Amino acid sequence: MTQTIAILSPHLDDAVFNCCDHMLEWRRNGNDICVYTMFCSFQTRIVPGFQKEVMRKAGIASVEELEESRRQEDIRALKLLDVRWLHLDFVDAGFRSYADAPIYENLQQLCSGKRNPHDDLLFEQMTEFVKTHIEAELILVPLSVGQHVDHQIVRQAAEAAGCRGELRYYVDYPYARNPRRWRLQQFKEAMRAKKSIRWMSSNKRKIMNCYASQMFQLFRWPPFYPEIILG
């Protein structure tokens, strides 16, 4: 029996990095898949120093260029997967600001597991979007291993919205490769839950290579890790 599947992806690579081989299998079986990528905007006047360094390493001169190149990378990958997608305009946490200052000034704050109070309105808006627009028989959200604030917001918004469909969790890579990035509760969830595991295929590696701006920064050698979906 075919079903509708919605994947909530915080950033322009998370769905592919964490669900690609599952999507390939689901599409072979005739399922309808839509990837909703939440934080696709980088538009800001205030660029923190750590983000400037990321852009410099990628050879990107402006936030406009960064946004366009990241979106095009994601579109190329999702076309190869033959799935539908929607790029939303919530601003990426690394570029969010308040009163002319970054909300998250460095990677430590970004992955601290502590949502800045200035993100409360954004969280409410995302919860309302999920409640109003996301309807599928199966809905996948990040487990939020790594404690990245955007991953946490997506997970918590889906839980608060009371999704119209079965909610499952995918394990977040590349964070999950480091045992220290797991919280005890997340580890317990992963151990207790039923799991669907797919080891990385050659097709997934080819599709991941669409994300040229990310691959050389996130992986020091050719990646090989399991996709793990809980629930």
Q: How many residues does the chain have?
A: 231
* Cα of 181 vs its chain's centroid, Å: 16
For residue range 55-97, list pLDDT tens digits in order: 898 889 999 999 999 999 999 999 999 999 999 999 999 999 9
When pLDDT is cut at 50, 70 and 90, the band that residue 220 belongs to is confident
Contacting residues for 45 by C-beta, under 8 A, at least 6 apart: 97, 100
- State yes or no: pLDDT of 102 exceeds 90: yes
Dist CA 155 CA 24 (whole Å): 23
Q: In the chain, what percentage of residues exceed pLDDT 70?
A: 100
**pLDDT for position 143:** 98
- Domains, in order of start, for the chain: 4-230 (3.40.50.10320)
For residue range 121-168, list pLDDT tens digits in order: 999 999 999 999 999 999 999 999 999 999 999 999 999 999 889 999
Instruction: Determine how many CB atoms are found less than 10 A away from the CB of residue 137.
Output: 15
